[in-house]
A and B are shown apart, each in its own frame.
Chain A
């Protein structure tokens, strides 16, 4: 054992300190062999230390993500060197780059395919809020408009140091979670995000009612204007067309049914 540095055991003791149980003390003579901790701490420690990111790059930020994984910055130090191309095998989705409207259905699908517990890091200005391209007609201004995000890393692109800092923040977040309260072990919980669809513009199925109210209101206003322009028709209060009214009734009924169910 001559190769073991003299302060090795001290160092080891320091390192495991944070994982030990708060109140249950192990007698000193047993400390070399026995360790008492909580399930949460053990579980979080193992999850945190073997986080497998999805091999998934979108734009410029992906290049810096690759640089982070490469030898100079070496994400392997955080147990993250195994990038999995399959969403089924990965715990972490690093959204590295500009999210476009054409791409967001695929991203949401991939997110849905990841097994829980799953985490999302928005890397860079684009993924966090649209970045330099926010005003663009094909750009989603932030991936959090569609899927929940755990950590935002600012920068354009964030330097590898910044990304690693973001990862450390994610680790801190994981350490604070408890099996008893995390949503994905609750009964009836589903983290499923409805996949956005490509219409004349991208639309979120969760917002169909809202969009419909808006687009159909425009129809109603047009009908009103037409009525005002045509004095031969009976002037009266603003009228919805029968078809539109039926549609709204239908939508209300469906919403009520959904709420009730």
Chain B
């Protein structure tokens, strides 16, 4: 019999064991990203200790890996099939993370972390939905991306979908004898569906999904004496459904609200209407093939998504990025940030009823920025511009001049214009001031990130707290506002866009000449060099990062965008997980809306600034 842990060490050298004895069993993946193996029964005491004593107050990422078909050497002899992974950060101290792994055999449960970090709520539900791991003590463990009654847990390695061809791409079977047979023709009903044998559609009853909108996360405590003194009409509360087709839910998003009169008692988000299986497809793709898929996560900000993924793979594989490419990356990311913030302000105003005017102002500037993107990448929205070790091609002649014009003149003017148009508006103030309040501590406990916590006075920005790329070279501030209401969430975006313009101006001033991709041509792409090099050349196409795992994150416009990748040394990522800011920020939607009116829920949602491509992935 082998040891239950892959790396057996004397437990006395391991950290935290003096405070929580027997919690840490060993370490995992020393080379790339250090992680501790934790005993399941000691998980909650350890998390509490880390949060209360060591200041790790922020649960950034919670996910799971199914090691059924793992081919690496590190896990030889380990019996347990699943590992639940936690990544913790400290918003007070900044710096890197602590990664914890809990090994789970099939059909066993893990204690739920919701009691320590309420932000684990949605993430644990996702793990339950996709992997079938039950979290003991979770208040509301229902499927989240798929529907109740769906057969199986699709992210498990042995679960195959209807259009399954092979485990890994590129598919060898794609064109047998020169022809391609469509999947549709292989199945009798011509659709990508499978039904378990023996299932009878005639007698099928949809399981009634119990949506606990009667449980107010923050119950309104009413003083019985106060009730007595102020007689009022007793009403019954009702459930109102918004979406999935609703003009103000920013896409196919659904909210169930329990209201009394017009006041919200509880709100439950329902999602999955745009669940496009990024992760399942991503684990079949090669490392590079995932780059265009990241474009489609947060489809307003394809450049930042590219960067987050490229950064993670570069850290995993140890790839260097040349100077000029670093500058180009910063320029693209900051342009994206301005674009996103203007767009979100415009559409927040749309939700408030200022139909179209502010949105049209935002779209006008967006078109200018999109022209720049299209010029370098060939596409307006889905740029697919970054490569491991650089960017796909150099800037076109004259691009910098046009970008400088935007950064020096046009964008500052446009931001001032938006400011003048909106900030002092009476109606905006009346609708936004004091709406959707949640304290900074609550927001952090709910794993909220990005402009939302900065509007609550927490100066936490990954560009400063854990700098990546070359952000340490630029001079910029982290604006914060104290009130944590919708108005501040609007205004913080304006301030951040101004800071982004500042960074942009510096980057455009300092950008050096030189190469845009590093020596191993993972990234080169001119037509003269042949199409092979567009895919990264032979070497790039078969990029095989060393065995290990990585969690790396950037400050995307919507918050903390992280990628958790596991490599077993093969040309395909073994695990590809996206920590999407929009998704996790939705943890706070329910608590933020309680006590306000239904019309305010729309605005509160607008101020979180979600994109459904990223929420549902």
Chain A residues within 8 Å of B, Cβ to Cβ: 55-60, 62-64, 66-67, 70-72, 85, 97-98, 100-103, 106-107, 110, 130, 132-141, 145, 156-157, 159, 197-204, 207-208, 210-212, 214-216, 218-219, 222, 247, 251
Contact = CB atoms under 8 A, between A and B. Distances in A.
Nearest to A201: B193
- Most A CB contacts (10 A, CB to CB) among B165, B191, B244 go to B191
A60 B299 contact: yes
B195 A55 contact: no
Given A59-B251, A141-B191, 7 more contacts: A66-B363, A71-B364, A139-B277, A199-B149, A199-B195, A204-B189, A210-B188
B146 A138 contact: yes
A123 to B, nearest CB: 13
B245 A136 contact: no
Contacts of A130: 192
Contacts of A98: 274, 276
Interface string B231-262: 00000000000001111000110000000000
Interface of B: 145-147, 149-151, 154, 161-165, 183-184, 188-202, 204, 206, 244-247, 251-252, 272-277, 280-281, 284, 292-293, 296, 299-300, 359-360, 363-364, 366-367, 380-382, 612-613, 616
A215 B274 contact: no
Contacts of B380: 64, 157, 159
A197 to B, nearest CB: 7
Contacts of A247: 200, 202
Contacts, number: 186
B195 A102 contact: no
Given A60-B296, A103-B273, A141-B163, A218 B198 contact: yes
Contact of B206 (A110, A145, A198): A198
B612 A59 contact: yes
Nearest to B193: A201
Nearest to A64: B381
Q: Which 3 A-B pairs have the closest CB atoms?
A: A218-B197, A136-B277, A200-B151
A200 B197 CA distance: 11
Contacts of A64: 380-381
A85 B242 CA distance: 13
A124 B204 CA distance: 34
Contacts of B245: 56, 106-107, 110
B613 A59 contact: yes
A171 B364 CA distance: 28
Nearest to B250: A57
A146 to B, nearest CB: 9
7 contacts: A59-B613, A100-B273, A102-B273, A135-B164, A199-B204, A200-B199, A215-B201
A157 B202 CA distance: 39
B195 A211 contact: yes
Contacts of B246: 85
